[in-house]
Amino acid sequence: MNPSPFPASALPASTLPAPDLRGLTVVALHAHPDDESIFTGITLRRLADAGARTVLVMATAGELGESRVPLRPGETVAQRRVRELERSAELLGVSRLVLLGRRDSGAPGGPAGAHRRALALGDPLQLARRVAEIADAEGACALLHDDEHGVYGHPDHRAAFRIGAAATDLLGVTGYGVTVDREYLHLSEGGPHLVHGAAQWAAVPYGRATCEIALAVTGDARHLACKRAAITAHASQLDEADVPLEGFADTYGYEWFRRHGGPGGPGVLDALGNAHLFATA
């Protein structure tokens, strides 16, 4: 990774566990390009650094996200977003990127949700079988996906929960539901999180109360720099000013999960250490 623009003291690098996860594989399912970097960027980078193989499954190409930058002649939003996703995956150390090929469902209650290929209308069990086949072929020990609330309630994020939870059950592996700690973010002095704007746009609530969350993964200054670079790789959707350096560590320095399924107890993500407020020894 490139030298970090963050001070060495941004996060406690000296206290981060350094597990050896070689031989283990983790699959992460997300709804739209940029979700992987915003909600699990530190986690994916740390898994890769620990030697784990990471497989990113992207359900849609985010076709309905209008581009804030000019497209090339003949280029579609979907094509641009996939290219940006490939760059983000590279930065995060992702070993394999898989596109499920469903379509962005758009805002809750909008006409795009009725499209025949909309993710929200897809058969969750059929899609779960596809994800489970990918994970099984990879020998995955854990699957990351949106939590029951879909992080912020977008139809595609809720669909990602249904698909991911069903795939986790089919495989019998540990599942980690991706969320955000809304109480932490409310008190954070680092400025607004991108989830705030997304929830406002979709007119839905977001996140979980602190007491509902089992695990928080954090990283050091290098991981923060990588996460920010992966987020801003999605230049068609985000400007660097949307994630300013000042306050970035406070706002984006934690990634939150709800654990379920599997053999019970801690799983591979727990090996990265638990920085959650209510974590116990």
- Token pair belonging to 27: 């699959």
Domains contained in the chain, CATH given: 21-272 (3.40.50.10320)
Answering whether pTM is above 0.85, one says yes
252 or 265: which carries more pLDDT confidence? 252
CB 270 within 8 A of CB 180: no
Distances in Å between the Cα of 25 and the Cα atoms of 59, 178, 215 are 19, 18, 19
Per residue in 129-167, pLDDT (tens digit) is 999 999 999 999 999 999 999 999 899 999 999 999 999
- DSSP tag of 20: -
Per residue in 4-60, pLDDT (tens digit) is 554 443 455 557 999 999 999 999 999 999 999 999 999 999 999 999 999 999 999
What DSSP assignment string belongs to 87-139? HHHHHTT-SEEEEEEEB---STTSGGGGSTTBGGGS-HHHHHHHHHHHHHHHT
CA 147 – CA 153 distance, rounded (Å) = 10
pLDDT above 70 covers what percent of the chain?
A: 92
CA 127 – CA 88 distance, rounded (Å) = 24
